[in-house]
Structure 1
Amino acid sequence: MERAQHVLADVFGYRQFRSQQAGIIEAVIAGNDALALMPTGGGKSLCYQVPSLVRPGIGIVVSPLIALMQDQVEALTQAGVDAAFLNSTLDYREQMELERRIAIGALDILYVSPERLLQERTLNLLSDTTLALFAIDEAHCVSQWGHDFRPEYRQLKLLAERFPNVPRIALTATADERTREEIVTELRLENARRFIASFDRPNIRYTISNMASMGARERLWRFIDAEHAEDAGIVYCLSRKSVDETAAWLRGKGRTALAYHAGLDADVRRDVLERFRKESGIIVVATIAFGMGIDKPDVRFVAHLNLPKSIEAYYQETGRAGRDGEPANAWLAYGIQDLIQLRQWITQGEGSDAYKQVQRQKLAALIGLCELPSCRRQALLSYFGERQSQPCGNCDNCLEPPETTDGTVLAQKALSAAYRTGQRFGASYIIDVLLGRSNERIERAEHDKLPVFGIGKDTDETTWKGVFRQLTASGYLAGDDEGYGSLQLTEQARPLLRGEEKFAVRLPSKETRQKAKPKRASRSAELVNDADRALFEDLRNLRRDLAVRNKLPPYLICSDVTLAELALFRPTDDAGLADITGLGTSKIRRYGANFLAVIGKHPARAAST
């Protein structure tokens, strides 16, 4: 770990590990397998990059995303690491040269797509090379129940058989309990140490609005204009047509808005991606085909003009905002048509009945999150098995509590009916029992003779559906593990059933004019006072010029926090630069003289008395 600490400071410019990083890195350096669940922006990459530089051999990183490979390799190269990627973008000559470098051990880290890794040619090449580790990024792709299933990921189990002495680390930001177990089983990680960091992204503010689709774009514009007038962001839409129309609409409002979807020419998509990475203030309007693998840290907002497919998808997509830890917004507007559309897609889609039932269950959980009257973050974390005892104070429900009514009795009736019918049925069946609807299935199970049969007749079916969604979103009910769609009581339900706590039900929201929220100060803004503002702006201009000169996104030169520390501490030599966050040896060698020259043009701060 002493060597790992040196690599962290000398190569990456950081003084200490965050969260679970130290434990994960220590385990992998020791040759152990690991499963790491960390939120987007939580520093997952360092968990395999540092061990790759400490252990002998090449670190092999499996990634399904070409854009992420390229971004990571560029960042590592800037840090002085010998890194490369092996994927379909390489021509024959480039591939041959890369294979030569691999064969002689001239690389520190190699990124490779799962399809390319599984080719016998690649496996044979790696068999003759000393390997530091295998890192399987986006490991949730192994789950057939997940939102981003990729069949080739399941074949990665052969790494355990073919390279039994090479440690493997699987990493993901989105995995509920079922997905975690599937990762362990499918990737042969039964003996892996598990590291589960908090899923919380406290810098992200969650806002969800139920509204008519006619007003969604106007609401979106009010949000962007009030809170992100000059910021980069992503707007997600369900259809390509909506993407094109929304991008054009935002351009009509004076913003630089680019459309991105699979129907566009590959060169156009590539240009959109490059502009988004390298230019500031660009809004990309996209289908979910855009965003995975984008390492751009200063995306200040992610907006959804339609419902995502699940809470996992929502968490993954919103997680593309604020990767730098600075304040960011996740904004969602949805209408009943979204729900109808997604249900149709599930029904008409491929997959077994059990798979479709799980997708319906996931969609219901998402709707429950949307309709919830209490803290969004608590519900979101609860979905991933994490409890937060206090409301977050940084979501719409915490900042502007919605109107609610006491739904304790309704909740108790719903939970009692679920329990007395054996916890083997879904919401629709239980609601039929509550409403006293007798049918062959209910009569065969003799549930028409239960004391809960008909006790909910005084409440309409729509209200009951909302109650079940909110109970699920709040963690009182959970879906079964087998994919049959049945609802089961959690331990959390006991005090509610006993009347020891209350349950509030959200009332339908009224259309109100969206209020502008106060801007939250970034860390860099907090560091930079009036006396340092001019220097900070000059350093930002220098970073922009260096990025253009080197054909790189500005964030690969350094972050705003790095610039803020430079303006605050005003180092005068390389030793002083080494104390600045994010400046390792390679970046000091590349850009240090430029930073010092700009700092030298500003008078030294007067000593305090």
Structure 2
Amino acid sequence: MTPAPTLPDSVQHLLRERFGHQHFRPGQAAIIEAILQGHHVLTVMPTGSGKSLCYQLPALLKDGCTLVISPLIALMKDQVDSLLEQGIAATFVNSSLSAQEQLDRLYACRSGRYKLLYVAPERFRSPRFLQAMAQTRVALFAVDEAHCISQWGHDFRPDYLRLQQAIEHLQHPQVLALTATATVEVQDDIVRQLGCQNMQRFVSGFDRPNLTYRVLNLKGPAAKLPMLGKILDAQTDGSSIIYAATRRAVEEIATFLHERGTEALIYHAGLRDAERQRAQDAFMAGQCRLIIATNAFGMGVDKPDVRCVVHFNLPRSMEAYYQEAGRAGRDGLPAECVLLFSYGDVRIQEFLLEQSYPARDLLQEVYGAMVYVSRERADIALRMLLPLCRRGLSEMHLEACARLLEKAGYIERVSVYDTAEDHATSTPNTLIRLATEAVTPRQLAIDDEALQQRKQHELHKMRRMVGYANAQQCRREKMLAYFGEQWTRHTCGACDNCLDDGAFAPRQPSPKRFPSETEWVIIQKILSCIARMQGRYGRVKVIQVLLGSQASEIVNSPLRRLSTYGILKGTSRSLLDVYLDALIEATCVHIVGDEFPKLDLTSLGQAVMRRQQRVLLALPALAAVTPTSASTRSPATTSTVWTTAPTVPSLTPTVVHAPAAPLSYDEALFERLRTERSNLARAETLPPYCIFNDRSLREMATVCPTTPAGFLQIYGV
């Protein structure tokens, strides 16, 4: 058992008199003891557990200045103002100050007037700043949001890589690294990148017991938007945050909520800086209870009354989800974290990932454009490169290229960012300049293998997030295991899998029926395809094979040679999703694995595929009979087609209209309907009248309904 920390009375006195606390929070005392003993320390503590006290209190007891590296300039002033109110000498240096004011504050630090100095990592680009700090006694080098230094983390920022050199320049002061989101791998990388191999680690745990985690599996925006409305209607107090993967999704959600009378702010990188700041200020001040945002929003947002965080799309990684969802319940009171998941989200994240890792030829093209513009001006706005590059190049491509070139040392950003999210979602107005003498694009020394390795790593993390969404066990256990923490309880009592209470989405049994003959054929083809893929592929690949996809990963693989390749070409993807959902629910198909979910047949599915067993499926109601003109088809090839109207991810349902037919009784049509009824009855092993009686068929041949609503008016339907 680890002995309890033994802190001197002076520490307890400072805790009470300067910071207004009677007791330390869990983990704080041990960390502060290690710092006061002179150890380098890495601490991983949950959001809201009091990380800042771990360097603010020791700063008052150390001889010299504590240099705090914080990625969020926007909050520096608030933090410093709070310390000044407590009688603690603190200041900050950032781009909001004039050059003279910056020099004055640095001189004051050198003179010993301040115990804490807050700066952004970008400040270490300045030789003048480094020179000033070299003349200052830095007692503690505190790195906040330390996961930003790791390229394996979810929020890597190249400027953090300057910190190891800065530590060496300052004659190796004591180092404290703090983060709330770091896997064991990222922790190792933090230690390595800071150059402090003998760091003591304090991992206080990742559990946020007041948060309830839920995942709702839905069919795209058409199903997600109404569900989002239900979730928001259930929030009677506090504030809510909705995260979406793209700017477009943010705008669409805002439009939907506006039309239903829900007031909401929006926040994304496509807005001007002033617009984003106004939105954040209004949300923080409580002027509006709801904000819809991309991941550009959030770092440094410490609003205590956030009762609900909804992710409209799948986040890219578990770290990102933990941090964003963790903005709920900062006051320690119960809060909800809801993920609206659909498989379309996976494709969105794969697309965004592809955009983040441009091909070498594009990188060379963008760099060549930078060199061309640099002949006329030193500072280059990224937007100036758009006309010089290939058509269709997106802002995201430009920023991705700029990031890679910056990391490789070929360019540097001119401005010091005001927020970490500005760096993460820079706009084409970002100013850059060449950091080295220009080389030809072909001479760029970019490690393609390392880039591919990182891309695969990001893809792996995204799949771990999919595994969380598909998990059948406790979601808290799944999340904590990702961060290397073992959950010892049988149930957490605060996730949908443990509660099984169906909050927001009561689990009503879906209406089931026997498939029609036409549907049986489709079902057999789907099951045959899954059988031939031998349980080695997931839902997306199964659908691609059925549709005869021309994607390179299909046509250049053995999947192209399967007999089921293209067997349902022309069928809508959404309709295949409906059939797959029904087969999974009926246990004909089961999902194997969480992280890399694959589809395989059960014994029931094999029997159904061979028509050895009948099964009720949750399929949409039969919508219409579409008769084919006898004059255009021979009797041998004529059959009645039953058209289903599934619930698909579309905001407006598609209505299938049958060809116009005379309102008078059509004897030929009646006979064809009887023939089709016999076929269906034979397939179902039922008497014909159990399908439809003659009165129903005559009415169909008289009315010839063309819509689902019209068909429902037929006797016996």
- Structure 2 length as normaliser, TM-score? 0.56
Shift of 1:93: 4.0
Q: Looking at CA atoms only, which structure, 1 or 2, has the larger radius of gyration?
A: 2
C-alpha distance in 2 between matches for 1:377 and 1:34: 27
Q: Identify the residue that residue 30 of structure 2 maps to in structure 1.
A: 23
Change (3 A) 1:74 1:216: farther
Shift of 1:325: 1.6
**Secondary structure of the corresponding residue to residue 48 of structure 1:** helix
**Bigger relative contact order, structure 1 or 2 (CA pairs below 8 A, ≥6 apart):** 1
Q: Is residue 186 of structure 2 the alignment partner of residue 81 of structure 1?
A: no
The structural deviation recorded for 1:248 is 4.0
Q: Distance in 1 between matches of 2:168 and 2:112?
A: 22
How many Å separate the matches in 2 of 1:464 and 1:73? 59
CA apart distance, 1:464? 9.5
Q: 1-side partners of 2:227 and 2:73: how far apart?
A: 34
Instruction: Report the counterpart of residue 397 of structure 1 in structure 2.
Output: 497
Partner of 1:216: 224
Q: Secondary structure of 1:75's match? A: helix
| 1:463 shift after superposition | 10
> Match for residue 592 of structure 2?
467
In the alignment, the residues of structure 1 paired with residue 261 and residue 52 of structure 2 have an alpha-carbon distance, to the nearest angstrom, of 37
Change (3 A) 1:159 1:92: closer
Fraction of identical pairs, as percent: 42
Partners of 1:328 and 1:75 in 2: CA distance: 27
Corresponding residue number in structure 2 for 1:303:
310
By how many angstroms is 1:471 displaced?
Answer: 8.2
Counterparts in 2 of 1:79 and 1:303: CA distance versus 1, 3 Å = farther
Match of 1:386 among 468, 479, 485: 485
Cα distance in 2 for residues equivalent to 1:295 and 1:119: 30
1:375 alignment partner in structure 2 = 474
Equivalent residue, structure 2, for 1:291: 298
Partner of 2:713: none
Please say if residues 313 and 345 of structure 2, whose CA atoms lie closer than 8 Å, have aligned partners that are also in contact. Answer: yes
Pairing 1:541-556 to 2, within 5 Å after superposition = none
Offset, 1:211 = 0.5
Which residue identity is paired with 2:463?
A
1:62 to 48, 62, 69: 69
Contact 2:133 2:170 in 1 (8 A): no
Residue 239 of structure 2 contacts residue 306 of structure 2 at CA under 8 Å; is this kept in 1? yes
- 1:385 is paired with a residue whose SS is coil
Q: Distance in 1 between matches of 2:288 and 2:499?
A: 27
- 1:516 aligns with none
What are the within-5 Å matches in structure 2 for residues 529-544 of structure 1? none
Letter in 1 for 2:142: A
Pair 1:56–1:396, CA change in 2 (3 A): same
**Which residue number corresponds to residue 451 of structure 1?**
none
Confirm or deny that 1:200 pairs with 2:325.
no
**In the aligned structure 1, how far is the partner of 2:111 from the partner of 2:261?**
53
After superposition, the C-alpha distances for 1:306-336 in whole angstroms (9 at most, x for unaligned) are: 1110111100111111222221111111222
Correspondence for 1:448: none
Q: 1:214 to 1:12 in 2, by over 3 A?
A: same
- Paired with 2:535 and 2:161, the residues of 1 have a C-alpha distance of 37
* Aligned residues of 1:300 and 1:329 also touching (Cα < 8 A): yes
Matched, 1:14 2:21: yes
Partner deviation per Cα, 1:153-180 (whole Å, 9 max, x = no partner)? 1221124322345211011111111111
| Inter-partner Cα distance in structure 2 for 1:110 and 1:78 | 16
Is the counterpart of residue 33 in structure 1 residue 57 in structure 2? no
For 1:187 and 1:311, the matched residues in 2 are separated by: 24
From the superposition, tell whether residues 358 and 301 of structure 1 become closer, same or farther in structure 2 (CA, over 3 Å): same
What secondary structure sits across from 1:95 in the alignment?
Answer: helix
Deviations along 1:573-595, one digit per CA (max 9) or x if unpaired, are: xxxxxxxxxxxxxxxxxxxxxxx
Code of the residue aligned with 1:469 in structure 2: it is D
Query: Quick check: 265-274 or 364-373, which moved more?
Result: 265-274
**For 2:263 and 2:557, how far apart are their aligned partners in 1?**
57
Q: Alpha-carbon deviation of 1:466?
A: 4.1
Are 2:456 and 1:357 aligned?
Answer: yes
State whether structure 2 residue 289 is matched by structure 1 residue 189.
no
Instruction: Show CA shifts across 1:490-526 (max 9, x none).
Output: xxxxxxxxxxxxxxxxx99x999xxxxxxxxxxxxxx
1:385-427 deviation digits (Å, cap 9, x = unpaired): 1111112101111111789xxxxxxxxxxxxxxxxxxxxxxxx
- TM-superposed CA distance for 1:430, in Å, is 9.2
Deviation (angstroms), 1:80: 2.8
**1:133 and 2:258 aligned:** no
Which residue, 52, 61, 65 being the options, matches 2:59?
Answer: 52
Equivalent in 318, 326, 348 of residue 325 of structure 2: 318
Q: Which residue of 2 aligns with 1:173?
A: 180
Contact 1:115 1:152 in 2 (8 A): yes
**One-letter amino acid matched to 2:479:** L
TM-score of the superposed pair, with normalisation by structure 1? 0.66
Hey, what's the Cα distance between the residues in 2 that align with 1:463 and 1:99? 70
Answer yes or no: is the 8 Å Cα contact 1:145–1:355 preserved in 2. Answer: yes
Q: CA RMSD in A?
A: 3.4
